Amino acid sequence: MIEFSKESFPDTRCFIIFDQIYLRHRTGNHPEHPQRLIWIKKALEESDIAFKLDWMTPRKADETEICRVHDKQYVELVRTACEKAGDGYLRLDIDTVVCNESYDVALYAVGGVELAIDLALGIGSASSFALVRPPGHHAMPNRSMGFCIFNNEAIGCLYALERNNLKRILILDWDLHHGNGLQEVFYNDKRVLYVSLHQTYHFPGTGYADEVGGEGAEGYNLNFPLPAGCGDSEYAYCLTEIVGPITMAFKPELIVVVAGFDAHCDDPLGLMRVTSGEFGRFSYYTRCLARETGARVVNILAGGYDLDAVGESIVEAVRSLVIDEPDDLFLPTPFKVNDYVIRLVDEQRERFSRYWPI
């Protein structure tokens, strides 16, 4: 068990990146729709922490920035497809819908993530939360996937590595779905430690426990494929038993949270049982790890498709980023843990002890 500092937090505000332009990525009758952001913004503005939030507007990224991750031919394909959508919709793949404004909105999503990184790294030690859409962590270098057009998180991490001269970034992805695009981009890059907690045997069907990183980057890819029905205790067990100790050893300069809320017990797309309050504890634990290692924290909105659940969960997650005094009640605490997850954690502890002192 990691002993965290009991001193007051120096950072008690959070930057929220949002713009009305994100509502112009219209998707029709689709789970990832503009109302999600409207609901989230309303929940934060009406919460008791609203006075601690600084709302910021993003800039538009350019094609050069997108091509840090994506093939130029693919970027052109997206631009052309959006033009062809006209007044309707067009599918880039079976799950990913675009309209005539989606290309520009996707550029602003990348710009919003980059702004969140700049703010977190450049001003004091405040956290930031990028309320952007379309989401990103499934997007591959040469194709869209799973509602995602451009891989906002991957582009942002490369931006931080290159522009801010960082050496170590932790990506902590607790979205319901494995971030196959992020794993693909960083599998051979030991500057980035990618950690994913996701529902196994679910879209996109990737993220196996024995995928530890490519040659020369072994130990820098950590997957927890969790069975359906896992809830607060199982997630807390993975975080406190393995993720925390590895993070302390890795000493990231930046922690990028892929903040998906579709593992919530009320989400229509998954079969997990995480509660709104537990997302706050995930976020608080990440904040404590960041303080101990000297890292800054950037959160990037990913999944979450029940409006009430995602609104409640984001308020709890942001609350944990702005409280003044440490409180152990905010720490994730495993109680009765699924036997399968206990075995999985034991296997990952044995597997990753070759690379990290855990």
The band of 122, judged by pLDDT with boundaries at 50, 70 and 90, is confident
123, pLDDT greater than 80: no
The band of 344, judged by pLDDT with boundaries at 50, 70 and 90, is very high
| Long-range contact set of residues 69-72: C-beta below 8 Å, sequence gap at least 24 | 69/139, 69/141, 69/150, 69/151, 69/154, 69/155, 69/158, 69/185, 70/139, 70/141, 70/142, 70/150, 70/151, 71/141, 71/142
Q: What is the pLDDT of residue 124?
A: 67
Q: What is the pLDDT of residue 132?
A: 98
For the chain, the structural domain boundaries read 14-352
- If you write DSSP's letter for every residue of 52-84 in order, what string do you get? GEEEEPPPPP-HHHHTTTS-HHHHHHHHHHHHH
Q: How far is CA 94 from the centre of its chain?
A: 23
Q: From CA 157, how far away is CA 182, in angstroms rounded?
A: 10
Residues 92-97: what's their mean pLDDT?
A: 97
Q: What is the pLDDT of residue 149?
A: 98
The band of 126, judged by pLDDT with boundaries at 50, 70 and 90, is confident
Catalytically annotated residue among 138, 177, 178, 202: 138
Residues 127-151: what's their mean pLDDT?
A: 98
Residue 239's SS3 state is: helix
102-122 vs 72-85: helix axis angle to the nearest 10?
Answer: 130
The pTM assigned to this predicted structure is: 0.97
288, pLDDT greater than 80: yes
Q: What is the pLDDT of residue 125?
A: 66
Residue 139's SS3 state is: coil
216, pLDDT greater than 70: yes
Give the DSSP letter of residue 355.
Answer: T
Q: From CA 351, how far away is CA 46, in angstroms rounded?
A: 45
Residues 15-39: what's their mean pLDDT?
A: 97
Matching residue, tokens 């659940």:
309
Residues 222-248: what's their mean pLDDT?
A: 98
For the question of residue 198 being annotated catalytic, the response is no
Q: From CA 25, how far away is CA 9, in angstroms rounded?
A: 37
Q: 10-14, 114-118, 192-196: which range is least confident on average?
A: 10-14
Residues 297-303: what's their mean pLDDT?
A: 98
- Report the CATH fold assignment for 14-352: Arginase; Chain A (3.40.800)
335, pLDDT greater than 90: no
